[in-house]
Amino acid sequence: MRLTLSILKADVGSIGGHTKPSQKMIDATKQAVSEAIAKGLLIDAYVSHTGDDIAILSTHTRGPNNTEVHQFAWDTFLKATAIAQKYGLYGAGQDLLVDAPSGNLRGAGPAVAELEFEHNPVKTNKVRPAESFMMLAADKCGPGAYNLPIFLGFADPMYCAGLMLPKLIKGFTFNIIDMDNTEGDSDGEPAVSVSAMRLHNIAGTYTGKDDPVALMRNQGIFPAPEELVSAFTKAHYVGGDARGSHVMPLMPVPINTAVSGIYCLPLVSCTGFSVDASGHFSENVNDFFDNPAWDYVRTKAQEKALYMREQGWSGAAMLPYHELEYSGFRDTVEGLMKQFAIRDGHKKAAAPVAARR
Ligand code: 13P
Ligand code: MG
Ligand code: MG
């Protein structure tokens, strides 16, 4: 069969600030998903959150950008929004940026990562005798957060020794999305799909962070899980956290982790799935970062964060001026600029504006 994997993800409200959705929101999402499976819209699904973002991962046979699947996710996010509103949660409906999606969720606010491929997991299938993949979900960061680890995992034999083996030696083709010129976009390629939403570009103002999701197929003709997760040991600096405007390290965390760390450190979860011949997920998932092996990296991320933010927002700690998410920061700087006067150094110094008032 032609199988589609879809991650549809949105921040539609959270408890005690931008931390995590409420249990009632998660329960309502799970309930809606069960109904969609019972109706035959989806084959299987997995609901989780990373920080304040709810992710619906599903299998179906309707292809990427399917109107019904995307509309179902939108309606489900609206249900969770209504709960967030009822209980006075923070940022209710934050990522639902339009009144109604036109056909699919792209450009409407929620993050979308989808892969479609031929699914025939039998022993005689030389290419893909079993289907295994990972879901990545990140909070408090921009869409480029995965660029470095995914590049290293798929292109650098120092991380993916499998690239020296016959099955992988041809390497992979990368389709790079230019997020400022999106007219000619095509859908991803079959190894990886990364969401490429820039909420600021959709809404025209800062409404919340992009918080990307990704699908990565692994094993066989693709890198092994350990080759794909290894680059996350860097806790590399990414753009986005703390008012969407700072540069901070990406900390690997278990799935369903709330934001509670210093300066709302950017988080990433990584969950492993297998899919049977009928498109159903395995009974359990593998939570890659829920392991003491990652405790050192978490500590390292916190240390890197402290070092960076020891200098407050100055210099490299804050995003470049044109990337700042809060236009309020720019307005403040422009307000200051107006107070400057050019002095003629050869004449008597002009009095500062403030003194002239
Ligand atoms: P969220 O999109 O996760 O709500 O992020 C808000 C933010 O800017 C945190 O710094
Ligand atoms: Mg939020
Ligand atoms: Mg978020």
Q: For residue 311, report the distance from its CA to the centre of ligand 3, in Å.
A: 25
Length of the chain: 357
Global pTM value: 0.89
pLDDT at 327 over 70: yes
Q: For residue 208, report the distance from its CA to the centre of ligand 1, in Å.
A: 5
Tell me which residue has its CA closest to atom 3 in ligand 1.
140
Residues having CB closer than 6 A to ligand 1 are: 11, 18, 51-52, 91, 139-140, 208-209, 211, 241-244, 264
Q: What is the pLDDT of residue 349?
A: 58
Residue 311's identity, in one-letter code, is Q
pLDDT at 99 over 70: yes
φ and ψ at residue 57, rounded to 5 degrees: -100, 130
Q: In whole angstroms, what is the distance from residue 287 CA to residue 133 CA? A: 12
Q: What is the pLDDT of residue 203?
A: 76
Ligand 1: atom nearest CA of 91 is 4
Residue 336's identity, in one-letter code, is L
pLDDT at 350 over 70: no
Q: What is the pLDDT of residue 234?
A: 97
Mean pLDDT of the chain: 91
Q: In whole angstroms, what is the distance from residue 209 CA to residue 244 CA? A: 6
Q: Put residue 219 in one of left, alpha, beta given phi > 0 → left and psi -120 to 50 → alpha.
A: left
Q: What is the DSSP letter of 350?
A: P
What's the whole-number mean pLDDT along residues 251-256?
A: 98
- In the chain, pLDDT over 90 holds for what percent of residues? 74
24, 30, 90, 206: the active-site residue: 206
Q: pLDDT digits over 49-65, tens only? A: 999 999 999 999 999 99
Number of helices and strands (H, E) in the chain? 8, 12
Q: Which of 162, 175, 213, 192 is nearest to 55 (CA)?
A: 213
44, 209, 210, 237: the active-site residue: 209
Degrees (nearest 5) of the Cα angle 241, 245, 250?
A: 30
pLDDT at 332 over 50: yes
Q: What is the pLDDT of residue 189?
A: 39
Locate the domains of the chain by residue range: 2-343
Q: Put residue 28 in one of left, alpha, beta given phi > 0 → left and psi -120 to 50 → alpha.
A: alpha
Pocket test for ligand 1, best of 14, 95, 241 (most atoms within 8 A of CB): 241
What's the whole-number mean pLDDT along residues 303-307?
A: 95
